[in-house]
Chains A and B, each alone.
Chain A
Amino acid sequence: MTAAAPPAVPDRDERLTPASPLRKLLARPELGSVVGAAAVFLFFAVVADGFLRAASFGTVLYAASTIGIMAVPVALLMIGGEFDLSAGVLVTTAALVSSMVSYQLTANAWVGVAVSLLVSLGVGCFNGFVLTRTRLPSFIVTLGTFLMLTGLNLGLTKLVSGTVSTKTIADMEGFDSARALFASETTVGGATLKVTILWWLGLVAVATWILLRTRFGNWIFAVGGNADAARAVGVPVHRTKTLLYMGVGFCAWVSGQHLLFSYDVVQSGEGVGNELIYIIAAVIGGCLITGGYGSAVGAAVGAFIFGMTSKGIVYAEWNPDWFKFFLGAMLLLATLLNAWVRKRAEATS
């Protein structure tokens, strides 16, 4: 810079103004949900006896992690502007495939695990393929997959094993090592921590890195914000969406293997309705239903709120007849608080 250079233009582009750390924080999509989570935590810490014990914390984290593992890819998919209604039963499918392949072929449990991964990714790929080729709304496509999978889970299981639940594979080779990976637990300071918590945190970290640090992350925001504009600047919209659906497939595989290796027998009718819980967790975590906005950390916090609420009600020993009502009210309040904080943040920035 030379001495003759003009002084800095005072009214320079506002997008280049360095934001204060506080303002940066307020603009984060998960801020509202973090405030909501703190509120829910404080609430149950006061009203529920035993909520603050270490052992209880392990239980709450486990409940949150089983939702959270699926809420992460569902959140990414929502940021990319799509839904997946088949995510709940896909978890059951992943568990059933794994169990039945191992049992029917009398193969090592890991063989079933590998085939299950392929099937889960395949279902995600199918969703993405049908969606991008037919341009049908994801609501219809994944509703179709949801119904087909529900029927396949029941029909195929009964056809192959003769009953509606799978046979036990606990006595088969490879079961123990697979259980160690998907369903083990350790005790830390009185709290039993399940390995699903590690999977959950790991997936959140990976998803956050993808969203914020990679080109693919930019593509996700772009296709969710405006798919046509994204395509115009060269974003491979179809590939991005298909990969997002395969991400849901991958996490459903992890979730399904946990289900199988912790209970070793799978009921074929399970999982229906869970897809909504994953979507709810993502929405509480600040993902916009219309796409283009949200975060993986937010979805994790959303799952955590869900875990705290559903178990907090038990710790508080409220009348169980009102369980669903309390759950609904807590969720609504958390989401409202989240929306309010976001609005305040947008108004001050």
Chain B
Amino acid sequence: MADKEKLGNFTPENAPEYEDVLQCMRCGFCLPTCPTFALSGRERSSPRGRVALARAVAEGKLEFTEAVKEEAFFCLDCRACTTACPSGVRAGEVMEICRSQAHQFFPLKHVSKSFREFVLQKMLPNPDLLETSMLPARLYQKLGIQWLVRHSQLLKLGPEWVDKAERMIPELHPPLRPQLADVIPAEGEQRGRVAFFLGCIMTLMYPEVSRQTVRVLTHQGFEVVTPKEQKCCGAPHLTEGDRDTTKRIAQHNLDLFMALDVDAIVTDCAGCGAALKEYEELLEEAGEHDKLATFRAKIKDVSEFLAEQGLRTEGLKPVKKIVTYHEPCHLCHAQGISKQPRELIKAIPGIVYREMEEASWCCGSAATFSLKYTTESQQILDRKLENIRATGAELLVTANPGCHLQLAWGLKQAGMTQEVVHITELLGIATG
């Protein structure tokens, strides 16, 4: 991208495409769907406003100011605006690119910079290091994990932040990745062979959930291959604006998974799924169009995959619970997967399903957002909790570790008793 023409006041490296910001016709359809606009009521914190800011920078009418940077990071990247926009504008992605720009315009202070670089460039891309360096549980919880979990760059490291992160972390079990066999055979009649993409947060924070995912997949008749050399999907890097590391990791994962002979690459982390599906745009310049397109077509969220293949329901045990479903942004908005999880939940015998209001409204977790903007995150979470409460559900199903953490923490804080489960955990219960 180095020889790309300079776009207004953006730096040439990792700059947005002009067409992408020009596409916005300013109709405002995105406004009522944007949680940060709902909070502040300020146009500049809306998708339409954010794209207008980026456009002004692109046209040389505005410098890449502190406020532009602020908006880039205040955006939840929830992509609700992408779903709402009839013109096909992707304000969230434009802001992601602006985060990368922000690091060029406002380099971090030395200490935070080296810490950020260490985690993003050394630790996250290296699962062994990630797991071993984190092993003593105290260290795990005190130092890196909270940070990792929230993908933070420690810009605002302060007591409040650490305290919140500390309290959010669930009880930890040993990471799943080293425990999973390379190949796990299908049960019963085999219907296919899939690769499992195990996200960092899933292996570290929710190993039991992913264990259920693999178990449900094999039980449903799929052989599961888990290549150990897989690296982080790159989403944390993208969120923090480190596009270069993302590209390196992406290339590694692409080559690794494309060398496997599998029907699909399945993940149970909505954030990872979204990131993997976007490798196509990210690695565009590498020129491997066919390979990237095939890769994209193979990436499946586990609920997308099971709904597509058809859930084998014979032998499922009834689960007598009232259930509601929170849609992770990275599942419904980034991947357009909305009906499938509900279909799967409803296919389980015994379940009483109750739809909540605004199921696809962000829960306020949004990577580092909940730690950087504690008050705003809490306001978004409160709105979500109210909607959950109104359903009278006993179980809250979701499908992304970030939401899982935030919601479990929020429910506990609010003294609510609903248990949060991943959709494959629920299927796991029904599987027996």
Question: A and B from one assembly?
Answer: no
